[in-house]
Structure 1
Amino acid sequence: MCTIARAATILLGLLCLAAVALPATIGDDALAIDINQQGHVTAMRVSGAALSVTPAPLVELCDVADGQFVAPVLTGNAQTGLAMDFAQLQTTGSLKIVPVDGRLQFSVGVKGADLPARGMLLRLSFPFDANGWQWHQDMQTSQAISRGKVFEDVVPLRAWADLPEWKDQPDLRMGYSNRNFLTVLTGPVGLCLSVPMDRPCTFRTAYDGPNSRLQVVYDFALSPDTAKPNEVDFIFDLYPCDPHWAYRSALARYYRAYPQFFEVFIRDQGQWMAFSRLSEIDNANEFYFALQEGAPETEYDDKIGVLSTIYLTHAGQFARIPDYDPETQPLPPFDRQLAAMVEAFGKATGDEKMYEKVGLHTAEGQLNIVKTAVYGHIIAQFNLDPDLDCGAWTLKRADELTRNIKEKSGGELDGFYYDGLSAGINYRPDHFKTALQPCLWDPVAQKPFLNNFYSSVEFARAAAEQLRPKGQITMMNGAEGSSFFIAPWLDVLGAETGLRISRQSLNYIRSITHHKPFMTLLKGNYEQTIGHEQMELFMKRCVAYGIFPGFFDWPPSGLGPGGR
């Protein structure tokens, strides 16, 4: 009886300890934050220095229908898991803050009641005074923080892949998200907020000068149609960096923390050759070719140590409408467009129902077909999620193409080339079930949707996990303007460029690739528009960022290697 009473006393004591877990100090000498019983951040220390903090809620949630942020009631232990109750929003959640190798890792989950879909914003704030500090956009660009301004570096969703064919297409004025995976501030000390590159989601970081806080805001929808109904979760890290090396220091720490995202699978780096046969170029090795797009002669490429890649997928399916002249006739009715697109997908995949299964839906629930003047009359983007039909078919086709080329040429196919990846937005509820990304919310249509590029990221990950163990690689064109969430699953990133690649783009590419190769195809007529002085400057800029400059003489003037 005495033993039972003692055990009961010990258990009651443990329960009491759990109940008084807040207030708490979480972290170590490198980085620590204090949280009180109301869930407010009351103190922060970075590299031993105390920051000037005005207590404010760490976590707040907003239903976009009313636009008011609400702080939760917190119970539990921050390191083993705090329970969050947003009673007036009919939502609960969890928060865990764990020290990991000198950084604090925040894991946040949100679960809504069994309600119709709704749009939400989740905000986590660190309320310290950074007036006079530096806000860093990349490794070379920063600006002084002031109290009268909000500092951020965000981009809207793109409707199409970042390829020359769609340079004139506007961005979608919705779904703004961070340009980069790091947010860096420096003053007497340095502080970085980062996200893992293997968890695609839409988020924005900012230093809110008027409210003196560093914040991260997640943009999402709670939907009963997702794999986990009305539930989402997010992860981010907070860690100190050297204020003198600033962004470079933050990058170095990230590369050490997540080396798997930057593993290099290409032994020899060099130029990108598109289509032309290297056997037709005298002393081809003098040009340091490393990758051949098109794989016209894999056996010869093997002899000279050049990787052969073949076209696998693209940013959209083109179709031509029978008996239609775009120069003299208006675009035919939707039923004719749909018939042409269904036929195009059927010819490409052997499945006459493929487009109906993987085509993107508009907010009105209609398959989304758009007029184009490039390569066809119309174009449709599609969902490449590997758990859906087109993604699964494409992965299977990769193995079939590898076998076929080996049988025909005797050479080894080294990998595959993506001419961009399908982007756009997708309102199709039956696609929500397999998506690993959180849904987003359209406040005008009052409906949830998917960022379809993140579905393409899921495909790219599945492809990398399938191909890398076999010694094969993937490359994507249009990487210069793509989300960083694609970078871990590509072995070569490339872009068709003009003479001028902005410093911002070069800094971005080098940040997301680290030591992976980035290749260019400089497009232009070398005889008429590009002289020696311009070419020399282009090559110098590339070399400064560790990029092998590549060339695509278009339209062919005959001056480039093989007329390209």
Structure 2
Amino acid sequence: MKKFLTLFLIILISTDFYSQNLHWQKIISNTKVAVKYYPPAKNIDNVLSKYESLIYSKRGVIQNYSDDKLNLELDFINYSDYTELNGIIYNKLKEDICFTIKIIFPFTQQDSVYWDHDLDSTILVEPNKTYANLVEATTVISPDGAFNISERSNGGYGDKIGVGFTSFYPIASVSTPSIGFGWGIDLGLPIVYRLYYNPSLGMIAEFDVSIVKETERFPNRSFFKIQLFEHDPEWHFRAALEKYYKINTEYFKKRVIKEGIWLPFTPLHTIRNYEDFGFAFHETNWNSKDKNFYNKPTIQADKSAGVYSFQYTEPWDIQIPIKKTDSLYEKGIVNQRILSKQIYEELKTSVIFDKNGFWQARRLKTPWFNTGYAVSITTNASPLLINSKRYRNIRDEEINPALQLNVDGIYFDSMEWNWHYDLNYNRDHFRTASYPLTFSTSLGQPKPSILNYSSQYEMMKCISEEMHVQGKLTMGNGYGWMPFSAGILDLFGTEINWYIKSDTNKKRLQFFRSISFQKPVVLLLNEGLEDTTFTKPPYIGYEKYFSKMLAYGFFPSFFSTNSSNNPYWEDSTKYNIGRKFFKKYIPLIQTISAAGWQPKTYASTQTKNINIERFGNSPQNGLYFTIYNISSKDEKVIIIIEANRLKLNNIIKILDLISGENIQFLYSDEKLILTTKILSENVQVLKLINPH
């Protein structure tokens, strides 16, 4: 009787666990695993055999797979509304091994399956096609050259990271008319990954990893995580994102209280009537003084104005000014007699090696140095690195002095510029690595390496956790396509070029919005701020730039055409031209950003090139829609809002907050229908108002 009761309770508990993710549970039991080794003996995947029956427990299922080189354990842990897969890969060999591990969740329904590509793109799946949203993943070719290259070697610049591609988003999704399936990575585990769908195989997650014996935290093994969840199929990718946010509340927690624009370096009180501009985040240094605030440290001056101060740091490389740009690697770059003792001591333990064992040493154009050029040597800034002085010196020289002045946060510059994509072949660094190693198929014989981003993530994570315990913040600049730091930083920035359309195209801005959720996103315009669209009446550049940022709830600002000299905020002629535009747009962005971006808009239009976003959940607490016209012509737009889904049955007014005009609307079949005209490259902010 006791055995029967125990078995009944286990079944009851398991059924309760499964009930919220029922469709995935049916798929999980048929999971398949394949692996491709590098260099491959054959250009085919090796299917791993399941060598142990399913093991059921109160918390989920464990599956084991094996071939002649690897053992793999898949531990499926069931939570109330999703399943977490923890994968551990054991190397049977006593030598290094590089491979792509492919986890296949069979789902081969042929009818009415949609690949949810991104926020606004959904594709009906066809047989014999593979569906993915990928970006090229390579190390960065130095535009100014490098010292560790030769006629025989490219120094690793431009090499593939893994097989050369990674997913653009941290999740993937497919939908049927009745159910949506989502699968995604854990943002706390930086790894080279791909998520895609093949109708002949199913939903797939791939990881490019290598295994070595030196990694003390996971010797001769590697690991990964996948989150499996179900979502509302009607809203496709947007619904998948909403579920992902609910699963990962800690990663997407909003800590910023006051929002506004980003001020780079210029002391706040030197800007006349700075209150007009909506400053909230000041990138500065602890030893900077504000001459217009009793010559006190800018950190203290910022506090008097209620502006967050952030201590600048860029620990990813060491830059040494140089006059000769044609110096030889051995004589001019790694020469102990030329480098200062402190720099040499830092580099001795923190420098990363290229695939040939040389220091990763770029030639860098640096307007912030009088020489105009520097050698940029990539470093590993991880606080875990044994005997490394790099992290400690950054603490002593930058972070700790700022904390003594009670700075509000730490600012990480150039998060994804040159150095983060470098592959680190310095085996001394393998010992303290926290995250899976990878490789490059650009090498004829791929060998293990650390994706330098994962080492930098270790540093940012360490600082972020420390700041959060103290009620402080962290900020990052230079977002590219790595999503992981979104889970540890509190706001994100990037510098943009007015003339490069891809800097602010829909694809990129939607990515920023998606990985930040409701955290602030701030931008600086550099190249192009001297353009006549910003310097000559009617200053149409301001309207276009600010309208686009308002559409996504982002905060626009300016810096310098070369990211150094003649900054915008030190030129009163420039900022006085912009003043009226800041006064017009920034309060609106603050309003909608405070209400909070919501992935599911419950609003639609048949008009192409119209982007709709929703901010807020209810009229009582503020409910707003931004309607942005991407096209080069004015558009008359009919918008349908699902009033029943948002409980909008008693709306009495829809107000355009920019023009102040009321928008006419009517109710029909539990929908709210409105018609409006939107100018080219312009935006409307609609506030829905009820009697209360």
**Bucket of the pairwise TM-score, normalised by the shorter protein:** 0.7 to 0.9
- Distance (Å, rounded) in 1 between the aligned partners of 2:142 and 2:282: 21
1:332 equivalent in alignment to 2:328: yes
1:540 equivalent in alignment to 2:517: no
| 1:399 CA drift (Å) | 4.6
Contact 1:395 1:463 (C-alpha < 8 Å) held by counterparts: no
Aligned to 2:428: 430
Matches within 5 A, 1:145-544: 145-160=125-140, 172-175=159-162, 176-188=165-177, 189-209=179-199, 211-227=200-216, 228-295=218-285, 296=288, 297-321=298-322, 324-326=323-325, 330-339=326-335, 343=339, 346=341, 350=342, 352-374=344-366, 376-388=373-385, 389=388, 390-402=390-402, 406=405, 412-421=406-415, 422-423=419-420, 424-443=422-441, 444=443, 445-479=445-479, 481-499=480-498, 500=501, 501-531=504-534, 532-544=539-551
Contact 1:525 1:553 (C-alpha < 8 Å) held by counterparts: no
Deviation track 1:529-560 (CA, whole Å, cap 9, x = no partner) reads 43422221110110111111111253647333
- Distance (Å, rounded) in 2 between the aligned partners of 1:533 and 1:358: 48
Contact 1:417 1:475 (C-alpha < 8 Å) held by counterparts: yes
Aligned to 1:50: none
1:136 equivalent in alignment to 2:116: yes
| 1:448 CA drift (Å) | 0.4
- Distance (Å, rounded) in 1 between the aligned partners of 2:63 and 2:300: 60
Aligned to 2:34: 60
The 1:517–1:171 alpha-carbon spacing in structure 2 relative to 1, beyond 3 Å, is farther
1:32 equivalent in alignment to 2:29: no
Contact 1:26 1:34 (C-alpha < 8 Å) held by counterparts: no
Contact 2:145 2:362 (C-alpha < 8 Å) held by counterparts: no
- Distance (Å, rounded) in 2 between the aligned partners of 1:32 and 1:351: 57
1:77 equivalent among 37, 42, 55: 55
- Distance (Å, rounded) in 2 between the aligned partners of 1:475 and 1:224: 35
Deviation track 1:217-276 (CA, whole Å, cap 9, x = no partner) reads 111112112122221122111111111112221112121111111122221010111122
Contact 1:152 1:207 (C-alpha < 8 Å) held by counterparts: yes
Aligned to 1:99: 78
| 2:264 alignment partner AA | A
Deviation track 1:314-343 (CA, whole Å, cap 9, x = no partner) reads 44222234xx533xxx33242321127972
Deviation track 1:102-132 (CA, whole Å, cap 9, x = no partner) reads 2222222111124210112221112223554
TM-score by length of 2: 0.68
Q: Which moved more, 1:462-471 or 1:152-161?
A: 152-161
- Distance (Å, rounded) in 2 between the aligned partners of 1:161 and 1:264: 35
Contact 2:138 2:161 (C-alpha < 8 Å) held by counterparts: no
Deviation track 1:176-200 (CA, whole Å, cap 9, x = no partner) reads 2221111011221211101111111
Q: Which moved more, 1:120-129 or 1:74-83?
A: 74-83
| 1:414 CA drift (Å) | 1.6
Contact 2:521 2:554 (C-alpha < 8 Å) held by counterparts: yes
The 1:342–1:74 alpha-carbon spacing in structure 2 relative to 1, beyond 3 Å, is farther
| 1:174 alignment partner AA | I
SS of the residue corresponding to residue 195 of structure 2 reads strand
- Distance (Å, rounded) in 1 between the aligned partners of 2:496 and 2:316: 17
Q: Which moved more, 1:360-369 or 1:154-163?
A: 154-163
Contact 2:312 2:413 (C-alpha < 8 Å) held by counterparts: yes
SS of the residue corresponding to residue 259 of structure 1 reads coil
Contact 1:62 1:68 (C-alpha < 8 Å) held by counterparts: yes
- Distance (Å, rounded) in 2 between the aligned partners of 1:304 and 1:165: 44
| 1:26 CA drift (Å) | 8.9
| 1:367 CA drift (Å) | 1.8
CA RMSD, Structure 1 to Structure 2 (Å): 3.3
- Distance (Å, rounded) in 2 between the aligned partners of 1:563 and 1:417: 29
Contact 1:524 1:553 (C-alpha < 8 Å) held by counterparts: yes
After the TM superposition, which parts of structure 1 deviate over 6 Å for at least 4 consecutive aligned residues?
A: 161-166
Q: Which moved more, 1:112-121 or 1:80-89?
A: 80-89
| 1:277 CA drift (Å) | 2.1
Query: Identity, % of aligned pairs?
Result: 20
Aligned to 1:47: none
The 1:174–1:130 alpha-carbon spacing in structure 2 relative to 1, beyond 3 Å, is farther
Contact 1:308 1:414 (C-alpha < 8 Å) held by counterparts: yes
- Distance (Å, rounded) in 1 between the aligned partners of 2:378 and 2:139: 10
Aligned to 1:51: none
1:561 equivalent in alignment to 2:575: yes
- Distance (Å, rounded) in 2 between the aligned partners of 1:292 and 1:340: 38
TM-score by length of 1: 0.82
Contact 1:123 1:215 (C-alpha < 8 Å) held by counterparts: yes
State how many pairs are aligned.
511
1:551 equivalent among 558, 564, 567: 558
Contact 1:161 1:482 (C-alpha < 8 Å) held by counterparts: no
Contact 1:277 1:562 (C-alpha < 8 Å) held by counterparts: no
| 2:428 alignment partner AA | D
- Distance (Å, rounded) in 1 between the aligned partners of 2:304 and 2:52: 64
- Distance (Å, rounded) in 2 between the aligned partners of 1:142 and 1:491: 30
